[in-house]
């Protein structure tokens, strides 16, 4: 690939240092890990990808920049949409294929293919929609909207078995991942052009590509907090009800998005109590942060240190030198034997008989 050859001798330049997401149009050929590594080398930042695509598969691939990699557990759960070209091993009429698509809609048993990155354990995945777009001889073009973790290759194999002729996946393209679609994708060449322009001082193209972190979790309940509570959250402290300005309805143990009053994304958190059990301004802990995206110090500290007085350090610790040793001569060994210690051996035995085995004549 020409782009890979151009990146080999290029020194990394740190062009991006904030959390964000770039939607890449992954080409056929390289793996998802290689594509993520190339984007990281272009922008000079930490990267990760969500939803692995096989080398022969193209389409939507989410590249997480900076602290956005902490969103991976959520992004991996997003529903996916694919356009697939299946080749049947025998002739089947279109009406029969259409009825089969209805049968394969819903919850299905699946076992990952032999060439996969996970264990081949039997599991259940849901196909929300399976639409036959076109049939040309033995080639069947369909669109599948499915749960995360669904293997379309296995779906094609099972559909071929159900038709009695066999079948396999010819070509596959991912068209949607969560709320990200093909309309928001950029090619690797687009990212490279934006990186070159950013080195020359024009960052507009690069900033237009990067999506904010809160756009990746639009379905989560939102909790707006006071400015005085933000820095404590950035340091990992749990949020109390007095720091909440407003919130949507949520249950206990649910993941929520915590925003500032300026609609800035602060962190993700797990609720400790349901929203119906407290009002904004009440006391008591309500949310524990799980993934913080705002840097500490962005907002002024609204919490104070404890007034507790700790006892002074012992003289022995003060006497330690810089190397960690103790100043002065080393303490001498034991000068006299302890008188309160019991004598060795069983009572009534002479010192010479101690430790000797009893002999029989």
**Which structure tokens are listed for 156?**
């094609």
DSSP string of 246-300?
A: EE----TT-EEEEE-TT--EEEEEEESS-GGG--TT-SSEEEEEEEE-SPTTSS-
DSSP state of 356: P
Give the CB-side neighbour count of residue 302, counting CA atoms within 13 A: 16
CA 91 – CA 25 distance, rounded (Å): 34
Q: Which residues are CB-neighbours of 113 under 8 A, at least 6 positions away?
A: 120, 151, 153, 154, 157
Secondary-structure breakdown of the chain: helix, strand, coil percentages, each rounded to the nearest 5:
25, 30, 45
The residues that are catalytic are 54
């Amino acid at each position: 690939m020409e782009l890979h050859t151009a990146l080999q001798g290029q020194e990394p330049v740190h062009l991006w240092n904030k959390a964000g997401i770039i939607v890449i149009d992954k080409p056929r050929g390289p793996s998802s890990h290689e594509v993520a590594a190339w984007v990281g080398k272009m922008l000079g930042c930490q990267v990760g990808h969500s939803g692995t695509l096989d080398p022969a598969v193209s389409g939507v691939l989410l590249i997480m920049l900076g602290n956005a990699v902490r969103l991976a557990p959520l992004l991996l759960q997003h529903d996916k949409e694919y356009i697939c070209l299946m080749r049947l091993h025998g002739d089947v009429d279109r009406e029969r294929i259409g009825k089969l698509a209805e049968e394969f809609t819903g919850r299905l048993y699946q076992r990952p293919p032999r060439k996969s990155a996970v264990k081949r354990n039997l599991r259940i995945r849901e196909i929300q929609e399976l639409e036959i777009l076109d049939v040309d001889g033995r080639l069947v073009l369909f669109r599948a909207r499915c749960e995360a973790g669904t293997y379309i290759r296995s779906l094609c194999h099972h559909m071929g078995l159900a038709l009695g002729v066999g079948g396999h996946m010819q070509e596959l393209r991912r068209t949607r991942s969560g709320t990200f679609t093909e309309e928001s994708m950029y090619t690797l060449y687009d990212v490279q052009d934006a990186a070159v322009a950013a080195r020359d001082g024009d960052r507009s193209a690069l900033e237009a590509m990067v999506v904010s972190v809160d756009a990746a979790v639009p379905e989560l309940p939102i909790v707006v907090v006071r400015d005085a509570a933000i820095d404590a959250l950035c340091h990992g402290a749990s949020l109390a009800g007095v720091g909440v300005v407003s919130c949507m309805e949520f249950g206990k143990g649910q993941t929520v998005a915590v925003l500032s009053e300026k609609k800035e994304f602060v962190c993700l958190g797990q609720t400790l109590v349901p929203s119906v059990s407290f009002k904004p301004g009440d006391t008591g802990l309500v949310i524990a942060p799980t993934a913080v995206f705002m840097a500490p110090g962005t907002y002024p500290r609204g919490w104070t240190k404890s007034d507790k007085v700790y006892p002074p350090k012992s003289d022995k610790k003060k006497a330690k030198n810089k190397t960690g040793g103790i100043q002065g001569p080393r303490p001498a060994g034991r000068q006299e034997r302890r008188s309160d210690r019991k004598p060795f051996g069983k009572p009534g035995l002479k010192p010479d008989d101690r430790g000797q085995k009893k002999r029989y004549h």
